[in-house]
Amino acid sequence: MPESTEPSILATALHWLAPWEFEPLWGLACLAAVGLYWRGARRLPRLDPSAPPLGWLRPAVFLLGLTLIYVVSQTRYDYLAQYMFFPHRAQHLVLHHAAPFLLVLAAPLRMLAAGLPGWASSAHRLARPLLDLLQHPLVAPLLFVGLIAFWLIPSVHFDAMLSRRLYQLMNWSMLIDGLLFWWLVLTPHGRLGPGKRILLLLTVIPPQILLGAYLTFSPEVLFDVYEVCGRAWPLAPLADQQIGGLITWIPATMMSVIGTLIVLRQLRRDDTDGRRRWSSPARP
């Protein structure tokens, strides 16, 4: 029988997993995060013997978040994100919402801190004023929604999609801002109480709805850069924009709703733990 000329499943998978435009910083960042987490997991029991066992769920969630970042930034999916509007919006949904959400939900801060070398504490002290500013309750939601809107200004978007440097800056800004925002609103016993964290989560919902609805129901094509460069698929430009608007609208809004439910669950758990401590008999 003649050998099949069709590519194997493995070859197809390797083709799609290979970088479209190799950017080593993305891969190095993911590897560094895994290395710090693994080192911290080994060191934390010695540094803090009272720390609870790590288990498997949190590491799995942490690795899932990093995998999503790698997939949308360093595989052939990045090609689709550069030549179609709705894959681009899905890419930013991952970088700005889903992946940071999962990374923060995995509660890796103690693990990562335990994995850091000694000199990193000095760098953290130097960066602390900037972090305090970016995570200020008035600045954080404005930056969270403002970055989405800024990169969707048609003229800015046009330049970013045609410039490799601006394109990478856009994606990195979305990821870093997403990490800062979800770290602020999902971390229990952090700098904000549960009421303020819920308020921030609810504050960012209406602007995202308005922006997504504007993209979805706009009667004209707003982003002609995809016509200049050519589209990856033969999809009507307005339909491409409408799907991208729905991605900006519905999943992004639902992430805030899920975040609110998580904060409420944390509050309920804290109340339950408090009642147990008060009701437990005092030891002699």
pLDDT in tens, 98-139: 999 999 988 777 778 777 777 666 666 778 888 899 999 999
| pLDDT, position 284 | 43
Query: CA quadruple 257, 260, 265, 266: dihedral positive or negative?
Result: positive
Spell out the alpha helix ranges (H) of 21-106.
24-47, 57-74, 77-83, 85-93, 99-105
With 60 as the cut, is the pLDDT of residue 274 above it?
A: no
Q: What is the mean pLDDT of residues 215-231?
A: 91
Q: How far apart are CA 271 and CA 91, in angstroms?
A: 38
What pLDDT digit, counting tens, does each position of 177-210 carry?
Answer: 999 999 999 988 778 899 999 999 999 999 999 9
Q: How far apart are CA 183 and CA 105, in angstroms?
A: 8
With 80 as the cut, is the pLDDT of residue 37 above it?
A: yes
| pLDDT, position 283 | 45
CB neighbours (10 Å) of residue 80? Answer: 19
**Is there a contact between 83 and 226 (Cβ–Cβ < 8 Å)?**
yes
**Is there a contact between 101 and 164 (Cβ–Cβ < 8 Å)?**
no
Q: What is the mean pLDDT of residues 7-34?
A: 78
The long-range contacts involving 133-139, CB below 8 angstroms and separated by at least 24 positions, are: 134/177, 134/180, 135/180, 135/181, 135/183, 135/184, 135/191, 137/192, 137/196, 137/200
Q: How far apart are CA 83 and CA 80, in angstroms?
A: 5
Q: 245 is written with which tokens? A: 């608007």
Nearest to 208 by CA among 145, 263, 274: 145
pTM above 0.85, yes or no: yes
- How far lies 174's CA from each of 52, 91, 94, 98, 247, in Å? 33, 10, 9, 11, 16
